[in-house]
Amino acid sequence: MKRFQPIVALDVPTKRLSLKLLDQFEVEPKPIIKIGMQLFYEEGPDIIWETQRRGFDIFLDLKLHDIPNTVEKGMQSIGHFGVQFTTIHAAGGSEMMAAGLRGLQAGAAEAEVEAPKLLAITQLTSTDEHSMQTEQHVNLSIQESVQSYAKLAQQAGVDGVVCSAQELAVIRPVVSDDFLCITPGIRPDLNVEDDQKRTVTPAQARQLGSNGIVVGRPITQSDHPQDAYLEITKEFLED
Ligand SMILES: O=c1ccn([C@@H]2O[C@H](COP(=O)(O)O)[C@@H](O)[C@H]2O)c(=O)[nH]1
């Protein structure tokens, strides 16, 4: 099973701070860098060029969720960037996901770059079963909801899902072997959850069969981000 190097969520407010962090990852394997809405809305595509110039692969996490036509056009623009991964919400439905995929492939073809892997967000790892049931009025367990989104995402043609590693046991039997399961909600110390609800350690994510872990604050807010990254990498990648 494919296992990527850890994906570091660069959730910082400015380019200056993000480049300061990037300069600390002079290590092999290099992390994949996740650029999310905070940094992208502040700095625009320039932050992508700067990160690419430093030799990092990019996970552009903008979580598109809108009507199919709007998502298709938005994804067409994302397809121009030459990033390796991007995201869409499975809750937008199969028609929206298929439109997003079409847009992404069209954009990548226009720019003559490889299309990114498209990943569908299932239930955010900050959601617990109680809030899902009472606020989204989903009358299922978290596991059933995530499994159902994973099936829908695969039918729509996307490359994988974002979920908690806690759900991998119910997803794997219903998707193909090459379907990617990327898992945030990673906490080396499970006592420190922040706003995450469905957490696992890097070692648990490996044992449960994650293809890639997304880690933000445990690395970026550490006094020694590179050491934290190397420790997490060891725990996740080494059998
Ligand atoms: O379900 C999801 C989807 C995306 N994320 C993103 O991952 C990182 C996690 O950051 P931490 O600081 O390690 O909590 C963050 O950028 C989220 O936007 C997620 O956590 N859960």
Q: Is the dihedral of CA 197, 148, 167, 57 positive or negative?
A: negative
| 239 — pLDDT class (breaks 50, 70, 90) | confident
Asked if pLDDT for residue 26 goes beyond 90, the answer is no
pLDDT for the residue numbered 213 = 98
Residue nearest to atom 3 of ligand 1 (CA): 124
Distance 140 CA to ligand 1 centre (A): 23
Residue nearest to atom 13 of ligand 1 (CA): 216
pLDDT for the residue numbered 210 = 98
Asked if pLDDT for residue 83 goes beyond 90, the answer is yes
Q: What is the mean pLDDT of residues 197-218?
A: 98
Cα 217 from Cα 146, distance rounded (Å): 24
Burial 3-15 (b: 16+ CB within 10 A, else e): ebbbbbbbbbeeb
Distance 214 CA to ligand 1 centre (A): 7
pTM of the predicted protein model: 0.98
Asked if pLDDT for residue 29 goes beyond 90, the answer is no
Ligand 1 pocket, residues with Cβ under 6 angstroms: 9, 11, 36, 121, 124-125, 162, 184-186, 194, 196, 214-218
Mean pLDDT of the chain: 97
Cα 104 from Cα 122, distance rounded (Å): 19
Domain 7-237 has CATH 3.20.20.70: yes
ipTM reported for the complex, 2 dp: 0.99
Instruction: Please state the domain extents for the chain.
Output: 7-237
